[in-house]
Amino acid sequence: MPGERLSFKDMCARFDVTPRTLRYYEYIELLSPDKEGRSRFYNPREIARMTLILRGRRFGFSLEEIRQWLEIYESEGSEAQNKSWVERADRQLVALREQVSDLENTIDELQKLRNDVAKTLK
C-alpha cells in the first residue's frame, strides 16, 4: 500500500520477528525507521527492505552480504543491484547444492550404519 506505515509492534507482527531482531537490524543499519519521540515507524521502503532481508536470510546469505547488496541500490541503482543479485545468487546456489550433496552422503552413511546395526539385532 502506498504510504503504509507500520509501528514497531506491527512490524514485528507482520514479519514474525522479535523486537530484539528488529532493533538489531536497525543497529547494523539495515533498517532506518522514522522516529517520532520514542516511537519508530516503518515506511514502505523499510517494509520492502525487511522483505528482502528475510528472503536473503532464508536463502542463506549473511547479514553483511545483504547489507552490501542493499547499499548497491542506494549508490548505483537497481540495474547494478540486480546484476549483483544474479552473481550472488549463482554463488549461493553452488554452495547450497554442495550442502545438499553433503547431506545426501550423510543420510546414506547413516542409513547404511542403521541397517548394519539392525541386522545384528535379528
Average pLDDT, the chain: 94
Render pLDDT for 12-56 as a digit per residue (tens, 0 to 9): 999 999 999 999 999 999 999 999 999 999 999 999 999 999 999
pLDDT score, position 53: 97
Domains of the chain: 1-58 (1.10.1660.10), 63-122 (no CATH)
Predicted structure pTM score: 0.82
pLDDT score, position 3: 75
The C-alpha cell of 18 is what?
522479535
Flag whether pLDDT at 1 surpasses 70. no
Task: Give the chain as a DSSP string.
Answer: -TT--EEHHHHHHHHT--HHHHHHHHHTTS---EEETTEEEE-HHHHHHHHHHHHHHHTT--HHHHHHHHHHHHHH-HHHHHHHHHHHHHHHHHHHHHHHHHHHHHHHHHHHHHHHHHHHT-
